[in-house]
Chains A and B, each alone.
Chain A
């Protein structure tokens, strides 16, 4: 074989129209495999020795492989013609002799080999060009090359094959015909298996690689789809709204939050789905912060330590926190509000503390007019109804901090 196989494209399997001796099958196979036609003919002859398998194969190929379309004229030298004629005659002769001898030994060896060959042919048929090229290289370097381990492997395989055949030739053993058969078949299969290990390994690796590539492609498609739906749309909106800095800020911040959640959130990209996460305190607070950001075009940075499933009183706490954030956004005159929440558990009981802090105008808590309902009703009222407390600290000029505390007890919250 020559290395030209790897560089040139493989032609499809067709029978030769010209330069043929019988039906152009051997020539076509040789063209397809990129090897010398003499090898193919020799292979058919050898196969003919195996109960006429070569003749059968030739016939089947003759029937099922179509003839090449174009008229390519090939020069066939007299020597080659003579050689081929001789081989053909030899093949037919061997097949006839084999049939006459009714040699079951060869039959049993050929059976499994034939099955393997048909399997390989099917795989070959399905494979694409690059794969075929890799496989032929693999077959060449895999079976013959590879250093000491390859030598060992070849020797082991050879021994198995030889053992399989020997078992038959020692026909005098006190074993039934069937047992001989089974032994021989097994030994042959094992031998062939050992001989072709690298090829199988390569095949398996090929399929693994293909699968990985497919997964990567799917993932890329998912990312692309997500970026299109979110980031590109937002960028388009920002371009349209570029005269309104407040709107641009709101869009950019909303998009940042969405992307951040997608990448790093609890259900984020590359993380397993976490059930019932929507019903937790941390996600509820984050959603509340996001809503306030969206509505008032400010930045709310929630930092949350610990987590807990929502119940009625915690829901009230989240709503009160949201109201505190809204107050900060509306009255403090700042761009940024800090939110810190911590769940402290001590045995069956515990406490959730939420701090909403801004560095804005601040006010005098005693001087709030009575018609300002925000803090009084939505925050204090809500917290009081559920047994929570509100502490307010505000210094004019320095900012405001609202501290909301809610106790909980596991006894009431058993699922």
Chain B
């Protein structure tokens, strides 16, 4: 996947459940054999704590809980990304609701995984967002496909560059939704893993910037963005 790092990736945990933070910390620090290690530099249980902690510790990756009191992950994203655009966010949630997923992605997170993810997969996801890739769970891929689908009666695309997916991007998303790993997608479509990553990043950019009705509706349903 990625080249072994010489220094561990610094990670900051934001979640209002202390028990959950402790669990993730233990899992990530233990790590799986052979994987480059991750270093948990700090954690926070509220939006204010998180903003202050991230500003102070300057982690490379922030693991962000979507649902928290006083604004949740979206509030942290909005406040931190203005000051520190280089910090990468990976959203972590128990929720499967489209509006939550789409809202944090549009808020600037580079990926979304559910809390039931295994420690190994979580470590992989952290490493992947760190090098600039996007992390799409099958469900997120499904939501994005749904949002970009051309239903009869849907509003025409205003900005084709942002409002439409290419056929290749659609193929990649479908395979993601079917539960394929990047390597398997590459094999299936006869392209390189790097190309798969490029497609997924492009889909992420469109999801964040497109003004398609579905996306803005999902994002605004919970008034997160």
Majority secondary structure of chain A interface residues (helix, strand, loop or mixed): strand
- The listed residue with most B CB atoms (<10 A of its CB), out of A303, A338, A345, A355, is A303
Give the complex CA separation of A263 and B95 in angstroms.
Answer: 9
| A-B interface, 4 closest residue pairs, ranked by CB to CB distance from nearest | A338-B179, A303-B142, A264-B97, A340-B178
Give the complex CA separation of A330 and B209 in angstroms.
Answer: 44
A342-B174 contact given A264-B95, A264-B97, A306-B146, CB 8 Å threshold? yes
Query: Which of under 10, 10 to 19, 20 to 34, or 35 or more describes the interface residues of B?
Result: 10 to 19
Q: Does B195 contact A (CB under 8 A)?
A: no
Give the complex CA separation of A40 and B27 in angstroms.
Answer: 76
A contacts, CB < 8 Å to B: 260, 263-264, 301, 303-306, 338, 340, 342, 345, 355, 357, 359, 401
* A403–chain B nearest beta-carbon distance, Å: 9
* B68–chain A nearest beta-carbon distance, Å: 16
Query: B178, A357: Cβ atoms under 8 Å?
Result: yes
Query: B174, A340: Cβ atoms under 8 Å?
Result: yes
Give the complex CA separation of A355 and B180 in angstroms.
Answer: 11
Interface readout for B67-105 with A: 1 if CB under 8 Å, 0 if not?
A: 000000000000000000000000000011100000000
Query: Which residue of chain A lies nearest to B152 when distances are taken between CB atoms in the complex?
Result: A345
Residues of B156-203 at the interface with A, using a CB-CB cut-off of 8 Å, are 174, 177-180
Give the complex CA separation of A264 and B149 in angstroms.
Answer: 22
Query: Which residue of chain A lies nearest to B147 when distances are taken between CB atoms in the complex?
Result: A305
Query: A304, B142: Cβ atoms under 8 Å?
Result: yes
Query: Which residue of chain B lies nearest to A355 when distances are taken between CB atoms in the complex?
Result: B178
Not counting A264-B97, A357-B179, a sample of 10 additional A-B residue pairs whose C-beta atoms are within 8 angstroms of each other reads: A260-B96, A263-B97, A264-B95, A301-B179, A303-B139, A305-B149, A305-B177, A340-B138, A340-B174, A340-B177
CB contacts (< 8 Å) of B135 on chain A: these are: none
Q: Does B66 contact A (CB under 8 A)?
A: no
Residue from the list B142, B152, B180 in contact with A305, Cβ < 8 A = B142
Give the complex CA separation of A264 and B179 in angstroms.
Answer: 22
Query: B97, A342: Cβ atoms under 8 Å?
Result: no
CB contacts (< 8 Å) of A306 on chain B: these are: 146, 149, 151
Q: Does B145 contact A (CB under 8 A)?
A: yes
* B189–chain A nearest beta-carbon distance, Å: 15
Query: B97, A303: Cβ atoms under 8 Å?
Result: no
CB contacts (< 8 Å) of B174 on chain A: these are: 340, 342
CB contacts (< 8 Å) of B149 on chain A: these are: 305-306
